[in-house]
Amino acid sequence: MTRMEPADLTLCAGPNDVGPNVHAALGSPILYHYDPAFIERFRAAEGAIAEIYRTTSHEIILMQGEAVLGLEAAARALAGPGVARGYDPAVADVSGTLAGTHTDLPRLRAGGVGAQFWSVYVPAQWAGERAVVATLEQIDVVRRMVATHPDAFALCDTADEVEAAFGAGRIASLIGMEGGHSIDSSLGALRMFRELGARYMTLTHNDNVPWADSATDDPAVGGLNDFGRDVVREMNRIGMLVDCSHVAPTTMHAALDATAAPIIFSHSSCRAVADHPRNVPDDVLERLPDNGGVAMITLVPMFLSMEASRWVREGQAEMKAAGLDPDDWAVMTRFMEERGTRIPFPNVDVAKVADHVEHARRVAGAAHVGIGGDYDGVHVLPVGMEDVTGYPLLFAELLERGWSEEDLAGLACRNALRVLRAADAVAARS
């Protein structure tokens, strides 16, 4: 082995247990892939290669991680361009149990799921045309998955179609868009997404869009600007549900002021129970009866419990101190899993979920509460509800608390179906 000069760097997936003599032979300093200095050099190399190839497409051109990732990438590339991009449903056949997911066909059946919104989500950082294209590909995945399993799934657009699918023993599959960045501030794109079957759109994700404020970003337009109100009105006209999960309270109120149709919260919980910015304040819940909308309570532990929220915030602070990006899902998942071995995650169980459901019922009424699981959107879930088989546990808990079968039926689906019908009625009058 030729000894390197001291100025050279050894980049290594580690930490590892090799001895100091090996380190000395390889050169110094040793930089592991979690090191801030490594990440700095990685980003610099990315920029240099992008400049060489004169690309502005923001495609991933370097891969950070262990060597096995390169083998996996090569295997995907050999399988064809669709698979390489990760959008071929054949690589995620839902007919059998899927490792590393919360959802597949056997577990949907075991959990008693009769209707499902499939979220077509792309990261908020993918602004512009990239977000539009990626969202189109996500819709393609949903439609092809349903077509691949016609005996199990039925692509639905209306409440009547949902009920017909359920009656035929198939899981009604609807499409929801998570994040207004997916339309790139284009009403034309919004209309085309509706034509492709998108039944709701979350106005923002974790970051602001040019026309709406997010709950987890700095205020920019005071809720909705004029174009944001145009978006809401156009969604009313074409029968697309306005989803106010992820948005700031000012945006919630602005949307309620602008809309002629009921709104939804596809996956939020109650701020009075857990004071997290992603949750819905009581003064918004109080407006749902007049609007006709539904708050669909999520299963995300950090929205259910302040102890869990604190654990996540402290973990994110640790990541930033180490030079890691909390918005990088893969990196965050690995980091949080490792942190859990050092600092146990707070206990969050079905009772916490039921507390939020009951609070929403007390404030908004039983007709304005639903379930918004967010399965496969988080890496930790309540004890006993770690995948979609856990839904019956929540209904059992609510039965123990005295809920009627009528109210439980509303929670399960009837309230959401009423909102779909109301939105279609508004669109028909437009």
- Span 121-138, average pLDDT: 92
pLDDT tens for residues 296-341?
A: 999 999 999 999 999 999 999 999 999 998 878 788 888 988 999 9
Q: Provide mean pLDDT across the span 333-352.
A: 92
Residue 248 pLDDT grade (very low, low, confident, very high; cuts 50, 70, 90): very high
State the pLDDT at residue 80: 39
pLDDT tens, position by position, 130-181: 999 999 999 999 999 999 999 999 999 999 999 999 999 999 999 999 999 9
pLDDT at 5: 42
The predicted structure's pLDDT at residue 390: 96
Q: Mean pLDDT over residues 345-373, rounded?
A: 97
Per-residue pLDDT for 18 more than 90?
no
- How confident is residue 6, by pLDDT bands cut at 50, 70 and 90? very low
Tokens of 54: 């004169």
Alpha carbons 70 and 63: distance in angstroms, whole number: 8
Q: Report DSSP state, residue 265.
A: E
pLDDT band at 39 (very low <50, low <70, confident <90, very high): low
CATH number for the segment(s) 95-305+348-429 = 3.20.20.140
User: Given this model, what pLDDT does residue 41 score?
Assistant: 66
Do the beta carbons of residue 243 and residue 201 sit within 8 Å? yes
Which of residues 8 and 292 earns the better pLDDT score?
292
Is 136 in contact with 186 (CB distance < 8 Å)?
no
Weakest-pLDDT range from 67-71, 134-138, 143-147, 269-273: 67-71
* Confidence (pLDDT) at 337: 86
Among 404, 413, 277, 301, which Cα is nearest to 356's?
Answer: 301
**Residue at 212: amino acid letter:** A
More confident residue, 8 or 391: 391
| For residue 344, cis peptide bond before it (omega within 30 degrees of 0) | no
Residue-level pLDDT at 54: 61
Looking at 30-34, 94-98, 400-404, which range is the least confident one? 30-34
Confidence of residue 78 (pLDDT cuts 50, 70, 90): very low
The long-range contacts involving 122-125, CB below 8 angstroms and separated by at least 24 positions, are: 122/179, 122/181, 122/182, 123/205, 123/327, 123/329, 124/179, 124/181, 124/204, 124/205, 124/206, 124/207, 125/207, 125/327
pLDDT digits (tens, 9 = 90+) for 185-194: 999 999 999 9
Task: Tell me if residue 177 falls in helix, strand or coil.
Answer: strand
Q: pTM to 2 decimals?
A: 0.79
Tell me what pLDDT residue 40 has: 64
d(CA 313, CA 371): 25
Cis peptide before 36 (omega within 30 of 0): no
Share of the chain above pLDDT 70, in %: 79
Mean pLDDT of 10-27: 51
Instruction: Output 86 or 161, whichever has higher pLDDT.
Output: 161
Mean pLDDT of the chain, nearest integer: 85
Q: Integer distance in angstroms from the first to the last C-alpha of the chain?
A: 76
Q: Is the pLDDT of residue 37 over 70?
A: no
Check: CB of residue 397 under 8 Å from CB of residue 411. Answer: no
Which residues belong to CATH 3.20.20.140 in the chain? 95-305+348-429
Report how far apart, in Å, the C-alpha atoms of 122 and of each of 34, 90, 131, 277, 320 are. Answer: 24, 20, 7, 21, 23
**Is the pLDDT reported for residue 87 higher than 70?**
no
pLDDT grade, residue 94 (50/70/90)? confident
pLDDT on residue 69: 38
pLDDT higher than 60, residue 381: yes
